[in-house]
Amino acid sequence: MEQENYLQSLLSKPSKSFQDMESFAEEHNIPIMEPLGMNFLMQLIRMQKPERILEIGTAIGYSALCMLEAYPAARITTVERDEWRYKEALKNIENIEAGDRVSVIFGDALETGDQAREEGPYDVLFIDAAKGKYEEFFHLYAPMLKDDGVIITDNVLFKGYVADDREASPRMAKIAGKIRKFNEWLVKHPDYDTTIVPIGDGVAITKKKSSHS
């Protein structure tokens, strides 16, 4: 915890627009990426320089706009099934005047594959939606990536409960169990290389194996 607090103390202060989104998310109990995890994601985006990003789980648009700030040349397609969050995301995107670079698809991500495919192929796939559906999202959307694309998955350690769920509520333990199963499936996948980084709530970075290896 001391190490985490130290690292957070090194983070630069976000702009007022992003501070407002963070306050709004906290006030309305909307899950957004933790500061250290978001800082890590933004650095990955800066390094990858993706032309097109696909995000599963828009919420209020916070992550999409952070990724855009990290690499303003990107075009982002993001999917949200909750109508109220979808509308809030549109407002935030408009406030930052990013409507020409971020498009939001309204609907269940397991049913919006055709719409998302139209805007691909993608350089980065970011999965941060219903935790019990991660493997289904992966199956549906990973094929929309370019061969050298990267898949980034948030919350793969889920509050520490994936490693040890003895103090979790039954609901949290159930979610942790699903994520644990996903992690094991992902790291053993014969077509992908994955590493899990214990930052924020746990971030998995996955890349397709080279056909030459």
Residues annotated within a binding site for Mg(2+): 128, 154-155
Name the nearest CA neighbour of 194 among 144, 140, 127: 127
| 3-class DSSP state of 87 | helix
For 125, the token pair is 């796939």
Angular region, 7: left φ>0, alpha ψ -120 to 50, beta rest: alpha
Binding residues for S-adenosyl-L-methionine, as ranges, are: 33, 63, 80, 108-109, 128
**Nearest-angstrom CA–CA distance, 101 and 78:** 11
Burial of 150: CB neighbours in 10 Å, binned 0-12, 13-18, 19+: buried
Phi, psi (deg, nearest 5) at residue 206:
-125, 135
Angular region, 164: left φ>0, alpha ψ -120 to 50, beta rest: beta
Binding residues, as ranges, are: 33, 63, 80, 108-109, 128, 154-155
